Chains A and B, each alone.
Chain A
Amino acid sequence: MARIVGIDLGTTNSLVAYMDKGVPRVIPGADGRTMVPSVVAMTDHGLLVGDEAKDHLLRSPDRTVYSIKRFMGKSLADVQGELAYFPYTLTEQGGVIRIKLNGKTYSPPQISAMILKELKRRAEAYLEEDITKAVITVPAYFNDSQRQATKDAGLIAGLEVLRIINEPTAASLAYGLQEKTQGTIAVYDFGGGTFDISILKLKQGIFEVLATNGDTHLGGDDIDRRIADLLLDEIRSAYDLDLGLYPDHMQALRLEAERAKIRLSDELKTLLTVELPDGRGRFTRELTRDQLESLVADIIERTLAPCRSALKDAGLTTEHIDEVVLVGGSTRMPLVRRRVQELFGKQPHCHLNPDEVVALGAAVQADILSGGTTDMLLLDVTPLSLGIETMGGVMSCLIPRNTTIPANAKEMFTTYADGQTGVDIHILQGERELAKDNRSLARFRLKVPPLPAGVPRIEVTFLIDANGILHVTAKDMRTGRQQSIEVKPSYGLSETEVERMIEESFKFAKEDVASRKLIEARLDAGSLLTATEKSLSEGGHLVPDDVRTAVRAAVSALASAKEGDDVRAIRTRMAELEQTAKPLSVALMDDSLKRGLEGKKLSDVT
């Protein structure tokens, strides 16, 4: 079977991993870094993803998308409260958010697909083979629409998504493989945009999830915003200036807030600096760890209630938990560790790299699916109750939350009126009593043969598969005939739309390759320019004037080519510069040799 990679598609950072002879490994990029920032920039020169895109957050905030995961499977109304924090224009179409960038609109799965493609490319370059299959992780508390959106993103990126797996359970697989322990563990996953808690029982290679809970809208992003809001207020009163009107300064403020937060995990106080617009100088402020902790205490507090609910649903108390495993960058905050320790009454386990463990676990699951690992099995649960709307707008539960998946439920439907030919069914997900307070997943119309009231008997099967995704089938019990059901998702792309996006993405693939080549050429040109400048300053005096002048000319020719979009021009100017600068490097070499003969080491001279 072709190789399956494991992907952690995070709010802030994404990673790809694979299984190397029984050991999961994260795949680094050309620069050796394993994390790809989940940022996408639409520049004039094409699409940028990751670190390069992150640079554009300040330069072109209206065309640079970050934290797209917060919008997956959501409608505009769902995110109304945080629109002010995002510098780009959001609209909605067919219950799906659309983002306007450079005059084109994109759905969140399309943006996520760009990140996935970057990871795919990374894996292909590293493993030197085509990658077409993947396991992708999602927060355990993701609902059906959010999972489906993630699957769509995979398809658009040209990946067959063989499994959607929950992030904390993925982490537990990596943990279990490494620690080889048995017992009951709690995985506390606090990342950039989401919080999850999962309670698992590990026994003889079986990873049985007992309960899961969380908040798909709670993470490090919210902590950054709290700090940024504080500074916004202070700047407003000190300078009578609304920084909110300057998107690029807002981004700078957000990034500075995040950096300060990260520093305060190691230090007790730090200095925040924000450049003000229109030459109004800069704003600086000291922030202590204590101040940060009281500023965000309520955010951390909000992670504790889900922990208690999960324990209760698992029928356990904190004494039953043998180990608490911390996952996600935000668990590096000392306050988080303290609160977790207080709640569970034991020191949390911190020996795993919280950034990588989810991707590693996804690789383990990928290996299970491809038949490589045969002694491990994950039994996960559905995080939310599934039901249908009944008379009076009440939700009737079919599959309760924390039911092990795959799970199914059968319901018999009939008619109330003679000759009635259809029954409308509204599928819901959530824990609330009333249908309107829960998440609407889909609606469909069950076709019924025209018969006297109560005579038709249609059995509908609701099946939640191992991805946590719902499938609905219906069977006419009188004829035994299976009925195909056209389910219209309430918040999601239609199948035809996804197909169109896949096609489009193939079309873009060509452009993507072009822009990638451009980026690489620019990077190479940049390092050549730096190296040449260094040679000039160290050995310029060793060569005749005309050589120096020629090198200077070639340097400026390359520098201006680097600003343009023409890859061939950049490569040609690079070759010309290398050629022109040859006498210079030869002279430098001779010089260092001579010094060597004089008994001096090069390092002593420079």
Chain B
Amino acid sequence: MNQPTPSGGSRNVQMARSMCWHCQSEVAGEYFCERCVKVQPVSKETDYFTCLGLPRRLTIDPAVLEAKYYERSRAFHPDFYLNKTEAEQAISLDNAATLNTAYRTLRDPVQRAEYLLDLEAGSVKTIRTSPPADLFEEILELQDTLDAYRAGDHSSETGRRLRARLEAERGALERRQAEMEDELQKLFVEWDALQDRGEADGHARMERDRLLRRMREILSNRTYVKNIVNDLVETIG
């Protein structure tokens, strides 16, 4: 089994050194006791990256993630515990459920980033979750235009004018979406590079906070933009 790679974060979760529930020998993050080979519960403190045996990074090769998930499913799935003790069956069930949640979360890049931000949240408390004023204004205005268009006669002069405006807005918003995705990708790469360097000085800490804050910002803006674009697509096709 892969050992989790420690990340530079201050709230880095260490696998608790603990005892095998069955034979009381020491287990340190392994999923099977070395002495009695009984399955060990995935601890509540284990983060999803660790659960899948991956370093806490934002860029993950989907093929590697899938391979890890399949490998661990083969280790934990209740199908393979039917003739084991009840205690082992219960652990396998919980472990498999946790593993499935971990995989689902990390498979999607956005969910993965959001999850990581939550893990690292301790040091970025000041992160704002409402959209910046200009975006907020823009969305409100667009919502009004949408309402007017929906209520009015589509073939009238005003209807056509409103539609043209909505189409232009949609184009602009979609470009903005693409920009956000690009920037997010760049931030992911920067974040991972910072983690790889493993520095812990003041400069690294500042850089870390900056990246986290910016990612949080984009992720929340992205949600607002995505919702309004969905509305637009639904109305004007």
Which residue numbers of A lie inside 8 Å of B, CB to CB?
1, 162-163, 203-204, 206, 365, 368-371, 374, 377-379, 403-408, 463, 465-466
Contacts and interface: CB of A to CB of B under 8 A. Distances in A.
A386 B18 CA distance: 35
A407 B83 CA distance: 21
Interface string B54-84: 0000000000001000100110011110110
B79 A407 contact: no
B104 A404 contact: yes
Contact of B70 (A203, A405, A465): A203
Q: Which 7 A-B pairs have the closest CB atoms?
A: A408-B97, A406-B97, A404-B100, A406-B96, A466-B78, A369-B82, A206-B70
A26 to B, nearest CB: 22
Contacts of A379: 73, 77
Interface in B92-106: 93-94, 96-98, 100-101, 103-104
Contact of B101 (A203, A368, A370, A408): A408
Contacts of B73: 206, 377, 379
A369 B82 CA distance: 6
A408 B104 contact: no
Nearest to A406: B97
Contacts of B77: 377, 379, 466
B233 to A, nearest CB: 15
A341 B103 CA distance: 33
A427 to B, nearest CB: 17
Nearest to A371: B83
A211 B237 CA distance: 26
User: Which residue, of A379, A403, A465, has the highest number of chain B Cβ atoms within 10 A?
Assistant: A379
A408 B79 CA distance: 17
29 contacts: A1-B82, A203-B70, A204-B70, A206-B73, A206-B74, A365-B79, A369-B79, A370-B82, A371-B80, A374-B80, A377-B74, A377-B77, A377-B80, A378-B79, A379-B73, A403-B100, A403-B104, A404-B103, A406-B96, A406-B97, A406-B100, A407-B97, A407-B101, A408-B98, A463-B93, A463-B97, A466-B77, A466-B93, A466-B96
A162 B100 contact: no
Interface residues of B, number: 19
Contact of A466 (B66, B74, B79): B79
A466 B73 CA distance: 12
Interface in B151-197: none
Given A1-B83, A206-B73, A379-B73, 6 more contacts: A369-B79, A370-B83, A371-B80, A371-B82, A405-B100, A406-B100
A123 to B, nearest CB: 19
Contacts, number: 55
B93 to A, nearest CB: 5
A22 B100 CA distance: 29
A463 B97 CA distance: 8
Contacts of A403: 100, 104
A1 B83 CA distance: 8
Nearest to A1: B83
Nearest to B103: A404
A369 B66 CA distance: 23
Nearest to A375: B74
Contacts of A371: 80, 82-83
A385 to B, nearest CB: 14
B67 to A, nearest CB: 9
Contacts of A465: 78, 93
Contacts of B82: 1, 162, 369-371
Contact of B79 (A204, A377, A404, A463): A377
A463 B98 CA distance: 11
Contacts of A369: 79, 82
Contacts of A1: 82-83
Nearest to B74: A377
A365 B80 CA distance: 11
B44 to A, nearest CB: 10
Contacts of B94: 408
Contacts of B103: 404
Nearest to A405: B100
B96 to A, nearest CB: 5
Contacts of B93: 406, 463, 465-466
A163 B82 CA distance: 10
A368 B73 CA distance: 14
B100 A368 contact: no
Contacts of B79: 163, 365, 368-369, 377-378, 466
B52 to A, nearest CB: 14
Nearest to A373: B79
A350 B96 CA distance: 35
A465 B101 CA distance: 14
B227 to A, nearest CB: 17
B155 to A, nearest CB: 31
A233 to B, nearest CB: 42
A406 B93 CA distance: 7
Nearest to A466: B78
A162 B100 CA distance: 21
A204 B73 CA distance: 13
Given A1-B83, A370-B82, A378-B79, A407 B70 contact: no
User: Which residue, of A377, A405, A406, A466, has the highest number of chain B Cβ atoms within 10 A?
Assistant: A406
A379 B72 CA distance: 12
A406 B104 contact: no
A342 B161 CA distance: 40
A373 B31 CA distance: 23
A408 B104 CA distance: 12
Contacts of B66: 203
A601 to B, nearest CB: 60
A116 B74 CA distance: 31
Contact of B100 (A204, A378, A407): A407
A60 to B, nearest CB: 43
Contacts of B96: 406, 466
User: Which residue, of A1, A378, A408, has the highest number of chain B Cβ atoms within 10 A?
Assistant: A408
A403 B93 CA distance: 15
